[in-house]
Chain A
Amino acid sequence: MSQAALQPDTQPAIVLDKVNKWFGALHVLRDVTLTVGQGERVVVCGPSGSGKSTMIRCINRLESHQEGRIVVDGTELTDDLRALDTIRREVGMVFQSFNLFPHLTILENCTLAPIWVRKMPKAEAEELAMDYLKRVKIPEQAKKYPGQLSGGQQQRVAIARALCMRPKIMLFDEPTSALDPEMIKEVLDVMIELAESGMTMVCVTHEMGFARQVADRVVFMDRGEIVEAGKPIEMFENPQTDRLKLFLSQILRGH
């Protein structure tokens, strides 16, 4: 792989520098080095267990790394809780399993963090939440509970919930892989729109169509390492490593 492909042309939003992480004896991230520029859209792919989730979860410290440096939006991630608070305000995350709060309505799910973390007045937070619910095209569900919505709708709420914090960076961990095929598109459409609005995004996904359409860069991970990275077309048309070739052939067969 070429080092140049890892260097984006804008000022960095996320810097991972020789990050290493172990789960007990299991070495899950090996010298992971990656820089994501502001407004850049990076898609991360790779076989199951390759450390994609772990890497993305290190960026907002749902997991802590043991070696190396992670700098997000100019703040380095350390044990310092105040730095962590600052970073989590600026980084939104969308999970594979939605993780909406089932005891709160859709609207309350969206207003909770702005009210408690950003100390926004309730009325203002509700207005903001309705704006974002309109953007993900489900304002009419605001008064319902998550359990009453379909998977695709729940995931769109999860995106709106993260956006209500007005984050600078959005992380997606396989946002469509828990969804029925007919619901994948409605979520991807929302994500494409978000990408076009200029949001910095790091997205773990196997949706190659999505990667082609919006990704500035695709990062391929295997066994805890970044094996190859580059523009989506180059990566898919002209894979350099055997591992990526194997992975692509499996993905294509699967679809």
Chain B
Amino acid sequence: MSATTHIPTEARERPPILVAGPIAWARDNLFNSWLSTAVTLALIYLIVRGIAGFLDWGVLHAVWTVPADAKGQLDPTACRDAKGIGACWAFIGDKWRFILFGRYPYDDQWRPAICVVLFIGLFVVSAMRRFWRKELGYIWLGTLVVIGILMWGGILGMPFVQQDSWGGLPMTLILATFGLALAFPLAVLVALGRRSTGLPAVRYLCVAYVELIRGVPLISVLFMASVMFPLFMPVGLNPDKLLRAQLGIILFGAAYLAEVIRGGLQALPKGQYEAADALGLTYWQKMGQIILPQALRLVIPPMVNTFIGSFKDTSLVLIIGIFDLLTTGKVALAEPIWQGYSTEVYIVLAVIYFIFCYAMSRYSRGLETEFSRTARR
């Protein structure tokens, strides 16, 4: 380019690191005035203090193990002495299997462990575009059947385990997976129904559903599902608590997701609908082949936002006594010798939730860039 020839000599002789390197960036963004230098230094101080404080508590002064007596009873004195100074990771070391798997029989906990691995495998496979075919449905069905067999048992020499004893991470994954996997198609239908001009009854029904659900907190939906619902149902026709909570989560998530998807439908130019009509596609062909693929791509970021929200919202089943990850954490805290170490538990729970949510968020960003590369407008 001719522009390079006009750069003054001294500028060209400057070391490039000062023009474009990290030092230059820091100078331009962090130290460009007295005020910003002061703020930067203050923040650096706070961050360093924070990290140092955490390392001090979480690593340097942490109690990693506590001795056990002859009967195998742990002696938490070391933790008690370190309280406020160092973290008691010994508590997590003792209770981690309870936190992860709840009251599931100890010797059979390999079963929910495999289920967690299967769930994660299912997510990874579903995330890869080259598996986006009809067979993916069968993979889901097959995996869910295997997970059901593992969790319940009762065959193949595995003792039967009641649903009431399930808990921890597998429970959270069950609630979230079914919650999202079933809320999504429901949300698509509701969003389409809300925009259908030909069927006013369907439209009013969808509007009523969305407005009703959005108007109440999830907690009350869960309460209704667990407490009020049985009152209305004839005796004997009473789906169990987990199923009811699951239904509540699905209905709740779908209402929010439907609004997000509706936004995508509205953002598509009218010409896309008309071109599909003019070619003679039926309503469902038009939606399935033309409208939804584009509308859903447009709303990936808010959709993933809703997904992440629903994933974390499953923890509200705590209040109706379902043993999800948060509940097992809280119950672990109730153990007499381990009372008072809530920080440690919540850090562990936060890390687990963060891993799943961050994975979703990264994945959505990846999808976005991929789509914008293949289908430039």
Cβ contact within 8 Å between B278 and A62: yes
Cβ contact within 8 Å between B278 and A103: no
| CB-CB nearest in chain B for A63 | B274
Choose, from B107-115, B144-152, B210-218, B285-293, the stretch at the interface.
B285-293
Q: Mark B257-283, 1 if CB is under 8 A from A, else 0.
A: 000000000000101101111111110
Interface residue total, chain B, C-beta cutoff 8 A: 22
Q: In the bound complex, what is the Cα–Cα distance between A95 and B269 (angstroms)?
A: 13
A88 contacts chain B at the CB level, 8 A cutoff: yes
Q: Is the interface of B mostly helix, strand, loop or mixed?
A: helix
Cβ contact within 8 Å between A99 and B374: no
Cβ contact within 8 Å between A97 and B271: yes
Cβ contact within 8 Å between B280 and A165: yes
Taking CB atoms, residues of chain A closer than 8 Å to B377 are: 102, 147
Q: In the bound complex, what is the Cα–Cα distance between A60 and B276 (angstroms)?
A: 12
User: Which listed residue (A113, A147, A148) contacts B279, Cβ 8 A?
Assistant: A113
Cβ contact within 8 Å between B376 and A148: yes
Cβ contact within 8 Å between A88 and B278: yes
Taking CB atoms, residues of chain B closer than 8 Å to A100 are: 275
B312 contacts chain A at the CB level, 8 A cutoff: no
User: Which listed residue (A60, A85, A97) contacts B278, Cβ 8 A?
Assistant: A60
| CB-CB nearest in chain A for B291 | A101
Chain B min CB distance to A57 (Å): 8
Cβ contact within 8 Å between B275 and A99: yes
Taking CB atoms, residues of chain A closer than 8 Å to B277 are: 60, 62, 88
A92 contacts chain B at the CB level, 8 A cutoff: yes
| CB-CB nearest in chain A for B285 | A116
Cβ contact within 8 Å between A112 and B275: no
Q: Mark A42-80, 1 if CB is under 8 A from B, else 0.
A: 000000000000000000101000000000000000000
Q: In the bound complex, what is the Cα–Cα distance between A100 and B277 (angstroms)?
A: 13
Taking CB atoms, residues of chain B closer than 8 Å to A161 are: 279
Give me 13 A-to-B residue pairs in the complex whose CB atoms sit less than 8 angstroms apart, sorted by A's number: A88-B279, A89-B280, A93-B278, A95-B275, A101-B276, A112-B281, A116-B281, A117-B280, A145-B375, A145-B376, A147-B377, A162-B278, A162-B279
**14 further interface pairs, Cβ-Cβ under 8 Å (given A112-B281, A117-B280, A162-B278):** A62-B277, A85-B282, A89-B280, A95-B271, A99-B274, A101-B276, A103-B294, A116-B289, A117-B279, A117-B281, A117-B285, A147-B377, A162-B279, A165-B279
7 tightest A-B contacts by CB? A88-B280, A99-B275, A99-B271, A147-B376, A113-B279, A93-B278, A117-B280
